Amino acid sequence: MRIATWNVNSVTARLPRLLGWLSSAQPDVLCVQELKCTDEAFPRAEIAELGYDVACHGTGRWNGVAILSKAGLDDVTRGLTDQPAYEDVTEPRAIGATCGGVRVWSVYVPNGREPGHAHYAYKLRWLEALQATVLAESGAGRPFAVLGDFNIAPTDEDVWDISLFTESTHVTEPERKALAMLRETGLTDVVPRALKYDRPYTYWDYRQLAFPKNNGMRIDLVYANPAFAGAVSDAYVDREERKGKGASDHAPVVVDLTV
């Protein structure tokens, strides 16, 4: 089974590239983030033509998540256990489903904006809700993974120059502690291999020639329980999909399983 995750940064703007990538990479399951569309506007018909069932959770703002599957979509859950709201809005940032016996969650963790901002405190509360959801679901014995844009670089080596992030989100101790708490639930960080250069970055800003300079970050993660992690035969960042006109600023992360 091939399972992937990709922040497409607008499914409507990226639809031709999404359809092309689905046709070439042939994932059985794709977790998608940053839809920027409502459930009603999601391009179900075009994706269904490629053989995928769709479960999505979006309101048309800058977030939204989905799971595309050729392996079935059972027990779909929208939202986390006790998910917090931001400015009285419970945002569509998490969706779970069981696909061919594998339980997956597609997540788009809040950015946090900057340390000390209300959105940063919201990010940490949101990660607590994610931990509660993982504790409730990951121990059932079936393969289980949380995939998506975590907006956190797990280590200093996961950003191109840590000295530029001294007053920024994505690398702070509380954010990384939240990842450590996920690992304490029994999940493992499935680190993909890089197809070019020495670090498997997954995100490059559109500005300042970040992609050609490889000024990237590894913030799109796969956190998996032992049943999932033990079945991994390969994992890689499809860096080629970040190239060219109309690309997302994120690249897909692909994981192959022997299940």
Retrieve residue 81's tokens.
């256990």
Is residue 108 annotated as a catalytic residue, yes or no? yes
256 DSSP β-pair partners: 2, 234
Distances (CA, A) of 176 to 3, 104, 158: 25, 22, 12
Q: Are the beta carbons of 55 and 76 closer than 8 angstroms?
A: yes
Q: 170 a known binding residue?
A: no
Q: 149 a known binding residue?
A: yes
3-state SS class at 133: helix
Active-site entry in 53, 120, 170, 250: 250
Q: 57 a known binding residue?
A: no
Distance between CA 145 and CA 107 in Å, rounded?
Answer: 11
3-state SS class at 173: helix
Q: 256 a known binding residue?
A: no
Q: Are the beta carbons of 237 and 252 closer than 8 angstroms?
A: yes
Active-site entry in 39, 52, 108, 223: 108
The label of the residue with tokens 């033990």 reads 230
3-state SS class at 131: helix
Sequence letter at residue 135: L
Active-site entry in 53, 149, 158, 220: 149
Q: 225 a known binding residue?
A: no
Neighbours of 177 (CB within 10 A): 12
CA-nearest of 259, 245, 256 to 222 is 256
Is residue 250 annotated as a catalytic residue, yes or no? yes
CA-nearest of 42, 32, 8, 155 to 94 is 32
Q: Where are the beta strands (DSSP E) in 100-177?
A: 102-108, 144-149
Q: Tell me the binding residues for Mg(2+).
A: 7, 34, 149, 151, 249-250
Q: Tell me the binding residues.
A: 7, 34, 149, 151, 249-250
Catalytic residues: 108, 149, 250
